[in-house]
Amino acid sequence: MKISPERVAQIAKLARLELDDEKLELFAGQFESILSYMDTLNELDTTDVAPLYSPTQHETVLRDDEARKTAQRTDVLSNAPQTDGQFFVVPRIV
């Protein structure tokens, strides 16, 4: 796909970049090179290839997300400046 410097200027304007003519030519060539490589990759037959989400196999180090009680209400409320015995009391903001 041919990318013109004018097209690069449009993209640069959207990205709020100011580029001189030399940079527009350079980036036009680079965009064209990238898109040509993408065309090469699109020619590959990947119908029997499973998706790869990560190049390495690794296990998650996070714990399972399960609800459990870790603290007693009285312990949590004991640190609050003001409570009604069951909930935190905060100033009215309205």
Average pLDDT of the residues in 20-45: 93
State the pLDDT at residue 70: 86
The pLDDT tens digits for 33-82 are: 999 999 999 999 988 988 887 777 777 778 788 888 888 888 999 989 99
Taking the model in full, what pTM does it have? 0.49
Domains delineated in the chain? 5-40 (1.10.20)
Average pLDDT of the residues in 2-28: 94
Core vs surface per residue 19-44: b (16+ CB within 10 A) or e? beeeebeebbeebeeeeeeeeeeeee
State the pLDDT at residue 69: 84
